[in-house]
Structure 1
Amino acid sequence: MDNQDNSRLINVLFQMKRNNQFKSYIDFIQFPFYRNLSLDTRISFEFPLTVFLGQNGCGKSSTLHALSGAPKDRTPYEFWFDTKVDPIEYYNDERKRHSFWYSYNDENGNKIEVVKARIKRKDDPNYWETSRPLRWAGMTSKKRNAPLLKNVIYLDFRKELSAFDKYFYFGNIKNSKARNKQEFIRRKSTSLKKLFDAEVALIKTRNKNLNESLHNLSNEEIKNISFILGKEYLAGKSIKHSLFRNEGYSILFKTNHAKYSEAFAGSGEMAVVRLVLEVLNAPAYSLILLDEPEVSLHPGAQSRLQSFLLNEIKKKKHQIVMSSHSPMFVESLPPEAIKVFYQNPNDGRFIVKEGLNYKESFFHIQFNEGTT
């Protein structure tokens, strides 16, 4: 798929958005006071694929965390909580507590506004709940509304390491008879091979199961992985396990030339497999949040990843929001899809600028890097 195909697909998605084909779609999110974002920052989602651009540490991931905590039964607490080293003030100087609110249309076309706020509780200092409308923050609703029901997938590709990499780079051999990590992995790989070969379905200790079910990659999954990576795969198997102590995924690839596990695969291969499996198996109308999915991918793969995501939005009407540092990924996207985060040199807070094309966006980032 080339840029011309992507351009046609982008026009189709704009038309779908105008025709209200995306259910429980977050139209915008606003932050009266939230972490280090500028007060009352609003981010609009005019296009169903949105990309956050900006320097490191300028609030992109924090905003993804807020979006992850927006739907029902979810909270930003999983990603953001206070400690003795990093305490969180409940209020700013104007007595505003950390909060965000967002708008979406319900199944009857009614505009629903929902606010979630960090509430001080003695037994739970990091508690978030829906709150009464914040009229001073621009909300027009007169009643407390329940948050939207929406499946959420959040993938942070900076920490999407394989089971092998987690152990090899961060594990240890404490309480093991192995002389080194290599020996430990060799011993445990005997059990992993039995799982891949379907000789056993489950490996367990006295206290717990050590693996989930083996997944044989479908033809559709193989086709999309091959497309993104520009490499022909014949088959693949994936399994989640804790044979190497930490929980993680192992993959067994088969190509025309070799059969190998994630231990010998590139990190980009592992990331693409995880992304493709999660996105293809997501229910329709999901909110999919991707933190730097282009990590370890060469420019051609980044461009094809964009095509894959646009196609999945068209098929299943997902709303996808991601952070990125890649000019290649946003090159063919419309200004409505691009949000640029940068630091205000006057107060150190982060501003979000909208309506820039990709060239203007990266010029803006480079210019502001020189002024902070």
Structure 2
Amino acid sequence: MLSQELRLLSNRWIQNRNNWPQFLDWMEITGVRGWTGQRLDFQFPIVAIVGENGTGKSTVLQAAASYYRPPQGRTGFFASDFFPSTTWESIDGVTIRGFCRQGTETFERSVRKPTTRWLGNPQRRIRPITYLDLRRTQPIYARVGYKAIAKPNALETNAVQFDDAQRARASTILGKQYDAARHATTNLDPSRRVPVLSASGVQYSGFHQGAGENAIADLLAQDFLDNGLVLVDELETSLHPRAQRRIIRDFATIARQRHLQILLTTHSPYVLEELPPEARLYIGGTAGAPRTPMVGVSAEYAMTFMDDFQHPELDIYVEDRRAAILVEELLFRFSPEHSRRVQITAFGAANVGQALGQMVAGNRFPRPTIVVLDGDQAQTAGVHLLPGQDAPERVVFAALAVVQYVGLAARTNRTHASLVDAMTQAATLPDHHDWVNHAAEAVVMGGDDLWRAACSVWAQHCLAQAAVQPLLDDIEGKLGPH
């Protein structure tokens, strides 16, 4: 469930998407770090870019920073800052192309380096850019030149106070009440700023702060101009899970208030879970393989590809938790010997499943893989459809009604009458996604528990094995003998 801050941002975006003052709709990167022209779609004011190390996440941020030129008096970036030719690499044949909106106008622009020079810089649109690489935020004592100012006889000569809003944001994100906050400089070196915080009447500098406090102080000191593009590399650095969730909510608030567009990279499931599906951009592909951007992945799907856990023999990907439980019950009913040899993972939006199906068809997964879409989706290459030609909830509820919910009371330890009333009433709701939880609440049990029981009864009393035989055959073929 989305937080209030994300819901407010989502509502604003739905109502005013075409009126967002400035927005980078998409980019294509060609000729650098494994990118060969794949399109990256940005469908929400905050987009989390996720993938394994080496898949080009930071390259996306660097390309976005290079796409715009700064307003007068602001620091900007050039592609040459991020993609230089060196003793070890010769950078040429590179194109960074994008489509952006500015007011009611749209522009397609590119910066490119066909041979030895970068072209297209003067034609870039103007937009404020803030680039934060939190991966490289070092503790104060490890930064160059800072040990020299860690002297008790140094005098604070200047300070930039955090305003009440900045201080409140720091308190909310870190879950600690700060009385005051500032960035201070000393007479020993006026160029080196030190964060100074005060909590419960105790003042302490960056030399005695945690890494998370340092990172948040640096982030909150940034001046996010209206309509700007904010780029954050590895947002979760040094932050505990609650702080990661809170900073996304903080970003949602300022994005809504200032019409910001925020692109960030992450490996954190907590960051991904805070965002709606359209705000999650997964980049697949390992070294030597094509990059595969996918919008709408679930946090569970993204994390499956970013750990070293030994997975079962076969991966089955489905749209959501409801579909996962249904497939589990199908296996228990018709192929129990295989149920312990597979892992079922929810991937999120149906378009992600279609992209995964293309990968299955192209034999591009390193492990045996099957993709299953809900029955109300179109048949596409490399995918199976759940039986029933409709959403799983509609299929199961309708079939159980026909057989008068036989066997469901015994599996749930609820009365037959209460289950009939609950499920009949739930099926009148316009959104089938609400049916299971509505019925479960009425009979005082968990939604997953009721759904699993319903799927088990449906598989036993309503479903002919022939309807799922192609899926069962595919599973058996890819697993082979024990």
**2:69 is the counterpart of 1:128:** no
Matches within 5 A, 1:231-310: 231-239=176-184, 243=188, 248-278=192-222, 281-310=223-252
Residue among 59, 64, 68 paired with 2:61: 64
Aligned length: 307
Aligned partners of 1:369 and 1:354: how far apart in 2?
26
Aligned partners of 2:265 and 2:258: how far apart in 1?
21
Aligned partners of 1:358 and 1:161: how far apart in 2?
28
Residue among 128, 133, 151 paired with 1:156: 133
The answer to whether the 8 Å contact 2:6/2:249 transfers is no
The answer to whether the 8 Å contact 2:170/2:217 transfers is yes
**2:78 is the counterpart of 1:82:** no
Normalising by structure 1, what TM-score? 0.75
- Deviation per CA, 1:238-290: give whole Å up to 9, x if none: 03679579x64311111115211011100100111111221xx3210010000
Larger relative contact order (CA 8 Å, sep ≥ 6): 1
Higher helix share: 2
Residue among 92, 111, 128 paired with 2:106: 111
Query: Which deviates the most, 260-269 or 232-241?
Result: 232-241
Q: Which structure has the greater CA radius of gyration? A: 2
| 1:311 corresponds to | 253
Distance 1:367-1:166 versus aligned 2 partners, 3 A rule: closer
Percent identical across equivalent pairs? 22
Distance 1:7-1:70 versus aligned 2 partners, 3 A rule: closer
Distance 1:150-1:259 versus aligned 2 partners, 3 A rule: same
**2:41 is the counterpart of 1:51:** no
The answer to whether the 8 Å contact 2:185/2:193 transfers is yes
Distance 1:42-1:66 versus aligned 2 partners, 3 A rule: same
The answer to whether the 8 Å contact 1:151/1:286 transfers is yes
SS of residue in 1 equivalent to 2:67: coil
Aligned residue type for 1:215:
V
RMSD value over aligned CA atoms? 2.8
SS of residue in 2 equivalent to 1:311: helix
| 2:94 corresponds to | 98
The answer to whether the 8 Å contact 2:179/2:201 transfers is no
**2:155 is the counterpart of 1:216:** no
Deviation at 1:314, TM superposition (A): 0.5
The answer to whether the 8 Å contact 2:109/2:124 transfers is yes
Deviation at 1:98, TM superposition (A): 0.6
Aligned partners of 1:147 and 1:79: how far apart in 2?
17
| 1:358 corresponds to | 299
SS of residue in 1 equivalent to 2:143: helix
Distance 1:148-1:252 versus aligned 2 partners, 3 A rule: same
Deviation at 1:10, TM superposition (A): 4.1
Normalising by structure 2, what TM-score? 0.59
Which runs of 5 or more structure 2 residues have no equivalent in the other structure?
Answer: 71-76, 312-365, 368-482
Distance 1:244-1:163 versus aligned 2 partners, 3 A rule: farther
Deviation at 1:7, TM superposition (A): 4.7
